[in-house]
Amino acid sequence: MTSATARLTAAGAALLLPLLAGCSPESSAPTGSSSQPTAEASASPSSSRAGVEGQAAAQLEAQFTALERRRGGRLGVYALDTGSDRSLSHRGDERFAMASTVKVLAVAALLDRLSAADLGRRLRWTSGDLVAHSPVTERFVDRGMTIRQLIDASLTRSDNTAANLLFEQVGGPTTVGDFVAAAGDDITSVDRREPALNDWAPGETRDTSTPRALGGTLATLVRGDVLEPADRLVLERAMRDSVTGAGLVRAGVPDGFVVEDKSGTARYGVRNDVAIVRPPGGRAPWILAVMTSHETADAEPDDELVAAATRIVVQALRSPG
């Protein structure tokens, strides 16, 4: 744990710069589907082939666009096969609210700072510290929980009080944002605690990211040396045990695939899932970020939009490159 900032910056930049090419902090679009999305599939950044052109790319874009029209939402997708470095995206550089997917970043930042012994330290809080959706921490006000238990509560049950306690331990949202930036991601904005970070509206940039940036940062955490192997294992196991995204990426992969994910929900029908997808047969994992929103503040989140987008990704990444 506690990897050096210089190492973190170098590792993050090496992995993320190719993934974030073309992004800008101001990248944004309305919640509707009227802007012109693009779908691209690319080889490794070092390859002379910048992208898959012609029929394959056109078919991919048509599938995502048809899905948006059918479900009535705005859909952002970024997927990366870490074995081949093939990637694809749809609205990959548009901003979406992160919602509770930010908990992955908060936990990663905390793991980077703490020792294994620190994870056994018990934290305590009062009933006055509890916020909405705290299904685990509300039962442990009298006894408290260890940091490791709070990590599990935050990622497996999306417990908001647990997330806020972890934010406090790491130094607040700003510190998490600094960690993400040091990992090479200057797009993702981490600004508020739970549940305020879910108070999103079109045009808001606080607590937002793009599918490419969020997925790219997860790829950096999984592939690089930003986190020590033991820390990666803590993060991945907690994401594997998550119970909040059963209808999302997990619902879109075939039998035999293993998914480690973190979901998120916010106003304007925001429903997101960021995931490590492990194909069968020992293949290298895929990284997938699916982010969605709708046009009205009271719109219902659409799990099937995320699951259907995942099916398109699976079909594309399983096809020969």
Question: Is the Cβ–Cβ distance between 266 and 52 less than 8 Å?
Answer: no
Q: Is 194 an active-site residue?
A: yes
Please classify residue 165 by burial: count the beta carbons closer than 10 Å to its beta carbon, then call 0-12 exposed, 13-18 middle and 19+ buried: buried
Question: Is the Cβ–Cβ distance between 238 and 151 less than 8 Å?
Answer: yes
Among residues 3, 33, 100, 293, the one annotated as catalytic is 100
Closest to 209 in 3D by CA, of 189, 179, 182, 186: 189
User: How far is 309 from 229, CA to CA, in rounded Å?
Assistant: 31
Among residues 68, 194, 236, 260, the one annotated as catalytic is 194
User: How far is 41 from 30, CA to CA, in rounded Å?
Assistant: 24
DSSP labels, 274-305: EEEEE-STTPPPEEEEEEEE-SSTTPPP-HHH
Closest to 138 in 3D by CA, of 153, 152, 156: 153
Q: Is 87 an active-site residue?
A: no
Closest to 76 in 3D by CA, of 89, 85, 87, 62: 89
Q: Which residues are catalytic?
A: 100, 194
